Structure 1
């Protein structure tokens, strides 16, 4: 799957009770993505089975947002996103009572999946974790 099949839109909380949202629209062939989002048993992956990371590019303005299968380590997909928007998402999530954000993945016209996540790891272009720019729940050791 190509990164240009994905459109990323990041919104800080619109209202006090709204979680920051990372909306991703996919407009490519749906069969491959649907297969990646499904377990071997044929069930849809849930939020606990998905990890979210962001790798900054050398110019620091853009980066690659990646969702992976936590159990297999396989990439579900990658999409290009502005680094400033990811930073805003992390800041908004940290500022809420229960630090978290939502991922809204829309595949085709009738398939929207929503995942609530508490962790978003941000890496520099060399692969070093940027702890101060990441959303990491308290008590988690990396």
Structure 2
């Protein structure tokens, strides 16, 4: 599935009014292809059945570092889909999610809304977003890892 089929928008990043950040991912490719990847045993994958990660494609200190956001099936490890994103946008999002988590009682720190141009496909409330450098090493300081979770 092509990464350019996806458009990512973010809401809830106002530092003066911390609220749960929401990532809306709009899919503009063949819907059947995405639906088959999102479906397991005739139902759409739930929040606790997916993992979210961001992998840098170049060193963090490079200008305008870019990377790939990946949504994966937690049980099989298979990628459901990937899309391109800039590191600065992802790091700002992680910071907003941290701020929301510190000021709320909610277990989830952010929300992902997945849709096509015509319909809503899924909503995922998540608390973890792992960030990896270009060599595949976990960047703990840039990741969103709930307290009490050990990796």
State TM-score, norm by structure 2.
Answer: 0.87
- After superposition, the Cα gap between the structure-2 partners of 1:85 and 1:12, relative to the gap in structure 1 and judged at 3 Å, is farther
Partner of 2:54: 54
Q: What is the DSSP-based 3-state SS (H/G/I as helix, E as strand, rest coil) of the residue aligned with 1:67?
A: strand
Q: Structure 1 residues 7 and 59, CA, compared in 2 at 3 Å: closer, same or farther?
A: farther
Alignment of 1:1-142 (within 5 A): 1-14=1-14, 16=17, 18-39=19-40, 41-58=41-58, 60=60, 61-96=65-100, 97=104, 98=106, 100-142=109-151
User: SS in structure 2 opposite 1:95?
Assistant: helix
CA RMSD of aligned residues (A): 1.6
Hey, what's the Cα distance between the residues in 1 that align with 2:117 and 2:35?
A: 10
Task: Determine if contact 1:30/1:108 at 8 Å carries over to the other structure.
Answer: no
Q: 4+ runs of 1 displaced by more than 6 Å? A: none
User: Could you state the TM-score of these two structures normalised by the residue count of structure 1?
Assistant: 0.92
Q: Is the 8 A contact 2:21 2:109 kept in 1?
A: yes
Distance in structure 1 (CA, Å) of the matches to 2:8 and 2:79: 17
2: CA distance between counterparts of 1:112 and 1:38? 10
- SS in structure 1 of the partner of residue 137 of structure 2: coil
Gaps of 5+ in 2: none
Residue 64 of structure 1 and its aligned partner are, at CA, apart by: 0.2
